[in-house]
């Protein structure tokens, strides 16, 4: 993959290739007749003009639909603020822009796990795929009376129900749809917008009109979003509250004993830090005020108050500064730790199957274990195929107009990297499995470190290429060819008098 990019840079785009590209632009109202001489449509009234603002707005609105509306995040914790929920959604949006293949892999893991869960329990319980998605995204929370214990995972629901410790939830599909902020109509409208954009790009190519680099990038994301919509079609959108599932009398102690063996720590939240959901007959301990209130009830007798955000940051900063010194400590706090969190999200999208340190919500990129496909072979194959097609779409402007030769070379190299890296990752994965069978521990550790280094370098190259393919189309808007301003007049194609 890297060899192909270097070969192109050294031999194909060498210094002898010095033909200048046109940089002049024409006003939008001047139509180039060469673009109008089609064997199918000869009348000039079937063409119109468009402005730079129209190109920008059409692509930007479609990109927003691809990266924001198509995202179906998991359910937040009861006390998560609006800013925390927004931050997670913006993070997912950023990962779609930089590495959409990983988001596809995460969505595919949830899709196939939900399908397998319905296959196991659907006939007996009447659950649909919407129920399974609601469970996967943290839709059911185990309660002991008014005290929240933890979010129910799929294996917890199965085990506790078979042991008679809880009753299987009886929520209907209509009740889940009522909690969701999206329905089939809204999803269909977004899909229609993306289909219309794809159709416009295809029509422009068929009639020899210029397709800008920004439109090609938007076309790639529109194709990708269609796959995400298929995988998450039955997943509820923007649900904010989970449904309580109550432990039957006398079973809390046994449940605590069952969960003590997990390495993630105790499962019962102390009463001073428990997330409580108020009910009609709820009585507030230590609160003599008889007036009704809609706020979350807390135990006012607790002597310690939760630390503020600034206090938590100072405590977090103190540790690295004492261990590594002030300079390196601050470097870790402001550079190393954010970079670690950023790269760690890729691992979560690929391997996160437990709650970790979370208790009242599932992690952002969580998907439980799939019994039918323990190695996630189907999601991996789907993600790699989609990633290859996604990269191949970026190769469409290989011979398009660019303002400078440097921009053309940079686009071609980035397109090669984005197209070839997914398959190279598969090859490295097979090589890692082969090296893992070695009996020599020294060579085995060497292979592990070497493959890890290759993985890090490949990831940074891929992220660099994705950033180039996101920035360069906007830069190219400064010098578009005249054909980019010509637009098909779709009304003229309709039968009329």
* pLDDT value at residue 226: 83
* pLDDT value at residue 412: 93
Instruction: Give which of 234, 220, 274 is closest to 396, Cα–Cα.
Output: 220
> Rounded to an integer, what distance in angstroms lies between the CA atom of residue 496 and that of residue 387?
43
Helix (H) or strand (E) holding 3: helix 2-7
Domain that holds residue 468: 2-9+50-123+183-238+376-489
Residue 45 in any domain: the answer is no
> Rounded to an integer, what distance in angstroms lies between the CA atom of residue 28 and that of residue 18?
29
Quote the Cα angle for 192-194-200, to 5°. Answer: 100
Residue 336 in any domain: the answer is no
Residue 188 in any domain: the answer is yes
Residue 403 in any domain: the answer is yes
> Rounded to an integer, what distance in angstroms lies between the CA atom of residue 176 and that of residue 84?
23
**DSSP H helical segments within 14-138, as ranges?**
52-64, 82-98, 100-125, 129-136
Residue 333 in any domain: the answer is no
DSSP 361-402: S--TT-----SS-TT-HHHHHHHHHHHHHHHHHTTGGGGS--
Yes or no: say if 422 and 388 are a contact pair by the CB < 8 Å rule. Answer: yes
Overall number of domains in the chain = 1
Dihedral, CA of residue 451, residue 455, residue 461 and residue 465, to nearest 10: 140
What are the average pLDDT values for consecutive 10-residue runs of the chain, which has 497 residues?
Answer: 45 39 42 44 62 88 82 88 88 87 91 92 89 93 87 90 89 88 76 85 85 91 86 89 84 52 41 36 37 38 59 77 79 81 84 85 90 81 88 90 90 91 74 65 71 80 90 90 81 59
| Distance from chain centroid for Cα 385 | 17
> Rounded to an integer, what distance in angstroms lies between the CA atom of residue 207 and that of residue 213?
17
* Helix and strand counts by DSSP (H, E) for the chain: 16, 5
DSSP 8-23: IIIIIS-TT--PPPP-
* pLDDT value at residue 486: 84
Rg (CA), the chain: 27
Residue 162 in any domain: the answer is no
Residue 81 in any domain: the answer is yes
* pLDDT value at residue 288: 37
Burial 182-205 (b: 16+ CB within 10 A, else e): beeeebeebbebbeebbebbeebe
> Rounded to an integer, what distance in angstroms lies between the CA atom of residue 297 and that of residue 251?
25
Yes or no: say if 401 and 20 are a contact pair by the CB < 8 Å rule. Answer: no
| Distance from chain centroid for Cα 128 | 24
Predicted structure pTM score:
0.74
For residue 413, give both structure tokens: 């190299």
Residue 57 in any domain: the answer is yes
Q: Do β-strands 140-144 and 243-246 pair in parallel, antiparallel, or remain unpaired?
A: parallel
- Cα separations in angstroms, 131 against 112, 171, 355, 489: 14, 8, 19, 45
């Amino acid at each position: 993959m890297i060899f192909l990019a270097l070969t192109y840079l050294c031999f194909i785009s060498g210094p002898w290739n010095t033909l200048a590209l046109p940089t002049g632009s024409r006003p939008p109202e001047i139509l180039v007749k060469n673009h109008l001489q089609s064997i199918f449509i000869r009348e000039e009234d079937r063409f119109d003009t468009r402005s730079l603002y129209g190109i920008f707005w059409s692509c930007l609105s479609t990109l927003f639909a691809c990266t924001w509306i198509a995202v179906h995040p998991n359910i937040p914790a009861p006390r998560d603020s609006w800013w925390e929920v927004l931050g997670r959604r913006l993070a997912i949006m950023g990962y779609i822009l930089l590495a959409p293949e990983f988001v596809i892999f995460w969505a595919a893991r949830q899709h196939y796990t939900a399908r397998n869960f319905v296959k196991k329990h659907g006939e007996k319980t009447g659950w649909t795929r919407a129920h399974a998605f609601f469970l996967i995204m943290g839709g059911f929370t185990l309660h002991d009376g008014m005290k929240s214990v933890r979010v129910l995972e799929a294996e917890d629901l199965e085990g506790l129900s078979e042991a008679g410790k809880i009753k299987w939830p009886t929520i209907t599909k209509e009740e889940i749809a009522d909690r969701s902020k999206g329905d089939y109509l809204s999803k269909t409208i977004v899909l229609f917008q993306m289909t219309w954009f794809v159709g416009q790009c295809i029509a422009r190519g068929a009639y020899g009109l210029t397709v800008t680099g920004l439109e090609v990038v938007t076309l790639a994301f529109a194709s990708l979003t269609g796959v995400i919509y298929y995988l998450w079609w039955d997943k509820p959108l923007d649900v904010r509250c989970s449904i309580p599932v109550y432990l039957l009398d006398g079973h809390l102690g046994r449940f605590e004993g069952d969960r003590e063996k997990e390495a993630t720590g105790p499962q019962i939240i102390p009463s001073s830090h428990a997330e409580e959901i108020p009910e009609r007959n709820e009585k507030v301990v230590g609160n003599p005020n008889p007036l009704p209130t809609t706020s979350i009830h807390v135990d006012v007798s607790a002597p310690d108050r939760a630390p503020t955000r600034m206090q938590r940051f100072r405590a977090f900063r103190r540790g690295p500064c004492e261990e590594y010194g002030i300079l390196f400590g601050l470097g870790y706090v402001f550079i190393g730790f954010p970079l670690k969190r950023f790269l760690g999200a890729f691992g979560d999208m690929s391997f996160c199957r437990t709650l970790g340190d979370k208790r009242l919500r599932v992690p952002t990129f969580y998907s439980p274990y799939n019994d039918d496909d323990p190695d996630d072979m189907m999601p991996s194959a789907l993600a790699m195929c989609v990633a290859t097609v996604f990269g191949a779409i970026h190769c469409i402007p290989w011979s398009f107009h660019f303002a400078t030769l440097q921009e053309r070379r940079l686009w071609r190299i980035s397109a090669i990297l984005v197209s070839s890296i997914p398959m190279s990752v598969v090859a490295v994965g097979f090589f890692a499995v082969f090296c893992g069978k070695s009996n020599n521990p020294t060579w085995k550790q060497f292979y592990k470190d070497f493959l890890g280094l290759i993985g890090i370098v490949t990831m940074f190259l891929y992220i660099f290429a994705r950033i180039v393919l996101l920035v360069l189309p906007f830069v190219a808007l400064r010098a578009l060819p005249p054909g980019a301003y010509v637009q098909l007049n779709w009304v003229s194609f309709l039968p009329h008098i």
